[in-house]
């Protein structure tokens, strides 16, 4: 049986190089084959996952010899950390390896939403010429509001400032004396929502942050503001966001993460015919370059743990 099980997609070159000489099961479709996954981990010492594999309950029970979980990413809400700790199972996220990709996604989404013209191809090709209707806004001079001010948010801040935006952030866990605040205004959440033209979320999904952006929070945002969530599904109350967009209280939103993933035709029905909404399939942190970095960092930390490092 396999020593290492990789249940979601990972760079195959890294697997061949870093896991060379080890018994590895690599099947990115294992996540969709629950019985096969349970069988595969029965004798595994290491399990490598992304965000879909729920490392808890029956899966942990099946993996009696599990020593380490490698997370191809940074979010850990799909892993029962308490259960892993109780059993002495190490959890190793790929911290920092996809920061740049997420930051570029956020800044790109902000520009697309503020300008508001890039869905006009069919109209123009069909003979329409809606110049006045598609008069968007410049990013320069606008405020980027960051909910959470960790590593990814700071990468967003650097790029937003370089493009002429001002930056404000809310993060009660970053001390007021932290040098990061030299280049960003430190705000309470209510003030941040009211003053920012673009709100980008950068917090984990916890009991405290679930539906942090609800109808009340959306109502505090200034008319015409945009919302971007490339952090975790569940932070935004999707029904409330849909209502705000349909009522034109916000100018747009970009969601890369969802309360239920993957989105199905049924769960995605609420988003149909919603204006100025960009949906992407949890891809903000995944580029060709970041996949290589994330895969290598995860593989190396897993091997180091198995070898006693």
Residue 135's nearest CA partner among 120, 110, 117 is 117
Q: Residue 198 in contact with residue 226, Cβ under 8 Å? A: yes
- The distance from CA 205 to its chain's CA centroid, rounded to whole angstroms, is 10
261 is catalytic: yes
Q: Round to whole Å and give the CA distance between 103 and 256.
A: 13
Catalytic residue among 45, 154, 232, 296: 232
Catalytic residue among 282, 293, 296, 305: 282
What are the structure tokens assigned to 57, written together? 């309950």
Q: Round to whole Å and give the CA distance between 185 and 205.
A: 24
232 is catalytic: yes
Q: Buried b vs exposed e over 100-124: b needs ≥16 C-beta within 10 Å?
A: bbbbbbbbebbbbbbebeeeeeeee
Catalytic residue among 67, 104, 185, 261: 261
Instruction: Report strand pairing: 46-49 vs 166-170.
Output: unpaired
**Catalytic residues, which ones?**
232, 261, 282
């Amino acid at each position: 049986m396999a020593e290492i099980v990789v249940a979601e997609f990972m760079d195959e070159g890294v697997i061949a190089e870093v896991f060379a000489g080890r018994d590895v099961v690599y099947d990115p479709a294992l996540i969709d084959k629950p019985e096969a996954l349970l069988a595969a981990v029965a004798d595994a010492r290491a399990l490598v996952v992304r965000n879909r594999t729920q490392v808890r309950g029956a899966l942990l029970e099946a993996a009696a010899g599990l020593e380490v979980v490698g997370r191809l990413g940074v979010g850990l809400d799909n892993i029962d950390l308490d259960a892993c700790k109780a059993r002495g199972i190490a959890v190793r996220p790929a911290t920092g390896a996809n920061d740049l990709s997420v930051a570029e996604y956020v800044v790109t989404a902000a520009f697309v939403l503020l300008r508001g013209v890039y869905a006009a191809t069919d109209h123009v090709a069909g003979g329409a010429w809606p110049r006045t209707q598609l008069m968007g806004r410049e990013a320069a001079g606008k405020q980027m509001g960051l909910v959470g001010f960790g590593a990814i948010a700071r990468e967003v801040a650097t790029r937003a400032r370089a493009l002429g935006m001002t930056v404000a952030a809310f993060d009660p866990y970053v001390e007021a004396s932290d040098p990061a605040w030299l280049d960003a205004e430190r705000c309470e959440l209510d003030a941040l929502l009211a003053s920012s033209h673009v709100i980008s979320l950068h917090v984990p999904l916890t009991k405290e942050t679930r539906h942090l952006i609800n109808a009340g929070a959306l109502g505090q945002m200034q008319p015409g503001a945009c919302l971007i969530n490339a952090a975790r599904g569940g932070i935004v109350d999707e029904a409330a966001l849909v209502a705000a967009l349909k009522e034109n209280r916000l100018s747009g939103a970009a969601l890369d993460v969802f309360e239920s993933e993957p989105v199905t035709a049924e769960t995605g029905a609420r988003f149909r015919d919603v204006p100025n909404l960009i949906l992407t399939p949890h891809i903000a942190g995944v580029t060709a370059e970041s996949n290589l970095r994330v895969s290598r960092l995860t593989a190396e930390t897993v091997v180091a743990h198995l070898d006693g490092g």
